[in-house]
């Protein structure tokens, strides 16, 4: 029998790696669609049905633990947030009608009349309780550090309808983080796992049916009036059905046939839809990035090896293969627009494609090329490149091309395909060398947990990165409120690239195609308050 300590260690690893599942290779995994079989006319626009197609089951939907991108997108229909973000990046009121903030505190005034689906009022006490629940380390919520600042303490003033949040550690984007906090009534915190397949929702929809692996049905709530800027449920579809549709070509066929209205298509099927002039909404995001494991004993712990491996690659060619020629060179390390800081932190900071220079770097570090293979102390330079297969076959082709280029250079390299869940487990487990692992977040300080601090199971620094300059610059940036620290955040990001801790390769627009429906998108996917049926 496994020891209790061993079981708890595995549980800690699982809980920690769930935090990264939302961001590591997550973009492009969620599609939305209005499918055949729904009532698309009864009751007018508000009575119509919209079916959201997703590539895989979301797993648990519990809002204090679910951070997989699919679950986040689904929960945005059921749970509202304190604030929302506009297309230009500005914050707009949601459940909070106003707020004020510093780098270590925030005060939110809760809008009156907000309710959960059972009719219970959502109060300042409920919001404070949720903040404190997630901030309590014993609850092991992966949302700590993403939607709730580390060291946060919340207090409610019932009469004033205010929640005051304080931290001992600077949180420069403390208000912006609140847009990622799905709000639920306090009583649900006693048994948050009960919401894995149910809702006690504060948003415009409630979950009425859950059939894992097949579909989830959300029905619009009556009386909803606290959306972005106080918008209501008027005009929203009466029902949203989330349907598991694993194959993009199938989704494209249904879309072209008029049997679905919206689908997120990122592969070669885009060409058919573009030729048919199907309307689309785009969201640019990092699509290809290499992460190196710098744990002791790994060949990639050596900076000279990392630089040589990158110089041996034609990154532009890899990016073109991975995106079918539809991408562009990466300019950032994962902050998804709209984000406060958007400087180009990649250009000029990566080693150029130069195999001769790569060979010189290895020779200078004590490696010898013998029999066509680089060796040191009698051991060949051997690396594996892990990647998630559900990023599509083009990524697999790009990985195989990287392996070919390394092999030709004299490295024993191999591709190591993983499923979407297993790539996260692989990173958390530590037995890997290099990973194709793009990370997407909405705020620059959210990246620090992945590129600084402890590795799993105590943290999410998967690559065991130690970059003193990154730590110094992020500490300085965190002391400045919001966008005032952007120059420092950008400089910190650039140090990771210069030190070859990460290699951003290519970004790509996630394309949401739509027929018979209008909508807008943000970093979480479709914005629920913008969904409307249309004539075309």
Of 241, 251, 304, residue with least CA distance to 77: 241
Higher-confidence residue of 125 and 392: namely: 125
CB 474 within 8 A of CB 445: yes
C-beta atoms surrounding 498 within 10 Å: 17
Query: Per-residue pLDDT tens for 225-276?
Result: 999 988 999 999 999 888 888 888 998 898 888 778 888 888 889 999 999 9
Phi, psi (rounded to 5 degrees) for 534 = -140, 175
Q: Give me the residues paired with residue 206 across strands.
A: 219
Instruction: Give 113: exposed, middle or buried? Use CB within 10 Å, 0-12, 13-18, 19+.
Output: exposed
Q: In this predicted model, what pLDDT tens digit does every residue of 171-199 receive, in sequence order? A: 999 999 999 999 998 889 988 889 999 99
Give percent of the chain above pLDDT 70.
91
Mean per-residue pLDDT for 112-134? 95
Peptide bond into 215 cis (omega under 30): no
Q: What is the DSSP letter of 304?
A: H
Structure tokens at 373: 């293979």
CA–CA gap between residue 344 and residue 211 (Å, rounded): 44
Query: pLDDT (tens digit, 9 = 90+) per residue, 48-66?
Result: 888 878 877 888 999 998 8
Q: Does position 350 have pLDDT exceeding 90, yes or no?
A: yes
Is the pLDDT at 43 greater than 70, yes or no? no
Average pLDDT over residues 73-81: 94
Total Cβ atoms within 10 A of residue 378: 7
Classify each residue of 389-419 as buried b or exposed e, where b means 16 or more C-beta atoms within 10 Å of its C-beta. Answer: bbbbebbbebbbbbbebbeebbbbbebbebe
Kindly tell me the burial class for residue 144, based on how many C-beta atoms sit within 10 Å of its own C-beta (0-12, 13-18, 19 or more). Answer: buried
Q: What confidence tens digit (pLDDT) does each residue in 415-470 have?
A: 999 976 688 889 999 999 999 999 888 899 989 989 998 999 888 899 999 999 99
Strands 412-418 and 434-436: unpaired
pLDDT tens by residue, 479-495: 999 999 999 999 999 99
Nearest to 433 by CA among 288, 309, 286, 311: 309
The pTM (predicted TM-score) of the whole model is: 0.82
| CA-based nearest residue to 502, from 294, 355, 259, 352 | 294
State the pLDDT confidence band at 134, using cuts at 50, 70 and 90: very high
Domains of the chain: 29-265 (3.40.190.10), 286-509 (3.10.105.10)
Whether the per-residue pLDDT at 84 is higher than 60: the answer is: yes
Mean pLDDT score of the chain: 87
Q: What is the rounded average pLDDT of the residues 504-525?
A: 88
Structure letter (DSSP) for residue 480: S
Task: Provide the 8-state DSSP code for 350.
Answer: S
The confidence score (pLDDT) of residue 47 equals: 54
Tokens, residue 13:
């690893």
Q: Is residue 509's pLDDT more than 70?
A: yes
Predicted local distance difference test score (pLDDT) of residue 265 = 83
């Amino acid at each position: 029998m496994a020891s209790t300590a061993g079981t708890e260690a595995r549980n800690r690893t699982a809980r920690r790696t769930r935090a990264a599942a939302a961001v590591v290779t997550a973009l492009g995994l969620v599609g939305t669609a209005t499918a055949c079989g729904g009532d698309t006319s009864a009751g007018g626009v508000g009575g119509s049905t919209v079916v959201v197609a997703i590539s895989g089951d979301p797993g648990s939907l519990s809002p204090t633990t679910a951070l997989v991108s699919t679950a986040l997108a689904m929960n945005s229909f059921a749970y509202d947030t304190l604030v929302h973000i506009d297309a230009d990046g500005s914050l707009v009121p949601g459940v909070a009608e106003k707020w004020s903030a510093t780098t270590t505190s925030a005060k939110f005034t809760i809008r009156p009349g907000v309710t959960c689906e059972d009719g219970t009022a959502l109060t300042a006490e409920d919001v404070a309780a949720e903040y404190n629940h997630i901030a309590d380390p014993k609850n092991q919520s992966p949302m700590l550090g993403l939607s709730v600042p580390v060291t946060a303490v919340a207090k409610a003033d019932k009469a004033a309808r205010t929640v005051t949040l304080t931290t001992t550690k600077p949180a420069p984007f403390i208000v912006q983080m609140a847009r990622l906090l799905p709000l639920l009534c306090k009583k649900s915190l006693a048994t948050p796992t009960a919401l894995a397949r149910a809702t006690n929702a504060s948003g415009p929809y409630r979950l009425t049916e859950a059939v894992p692996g097949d579909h989830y049905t959300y029905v619009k709530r009556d009386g909803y009036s606290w959306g972005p800027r106080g918008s209501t449920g008027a005009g929203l579809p009466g029902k949203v059905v989330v349907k598991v549709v694993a194959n993009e070509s199938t989704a494209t066929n249904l879309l072209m046939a008029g049997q679905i209205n919206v689908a997120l298509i990122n592969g070669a099927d885009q060409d058919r839809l573009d030729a048919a002039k199907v309307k689309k909404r785009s969201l640019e995001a990092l699509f290809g990035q290499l992460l190196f494991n710098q744990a002791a004993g790994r060949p990639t712990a050596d900076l000279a090896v990392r630089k040589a491996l990158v110089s041996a690659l034609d990154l532009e060619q890899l990016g073109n293969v991975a995106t079918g020629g539809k991408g562009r060179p990466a300019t950032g390390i994962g902050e998804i627009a709209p984000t406060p800081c958007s400087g180009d932190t990649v250009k000029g900071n990566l080693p150029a494609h130069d195999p001769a220079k790569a060979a010189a770097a290895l020779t200078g570090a004590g490696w010898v090329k013998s029999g066509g293979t680089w060796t040191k102390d009698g051991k060949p330079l051997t690396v594996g490149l892990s990647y998630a297969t559900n990023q599509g076959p083009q990524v697999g082709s790009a990985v195989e091309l990287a392996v070919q280029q390394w092999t030709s250079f004299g490295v024993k390299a191999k591709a190591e395909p993983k499923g979407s869940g297993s790539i996260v487990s692989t990173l958390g487990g530590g037995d890997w060398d290099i990973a194709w692992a793009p990370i997407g977040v909405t705020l620059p300080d959210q990246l620090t947990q992945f590129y600084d601090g402890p590795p799993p199971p105590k943290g999410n620094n998967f690559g065991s990165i130690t970059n003193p300059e990154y730590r110094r610059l992020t500490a300085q940036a965190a002391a400045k409120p919001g966008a005032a620290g952007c120059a420092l955040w950008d400089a910190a990001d650039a140090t990771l690239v210069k030190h070859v801790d990460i290699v951003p390769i290519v970004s790509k627009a996630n394309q949401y195609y739509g027929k018979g429906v209008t909508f807008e998108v943000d970093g979480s996917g479709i914005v629920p308050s913008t969904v409307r049926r249309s004539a075309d």
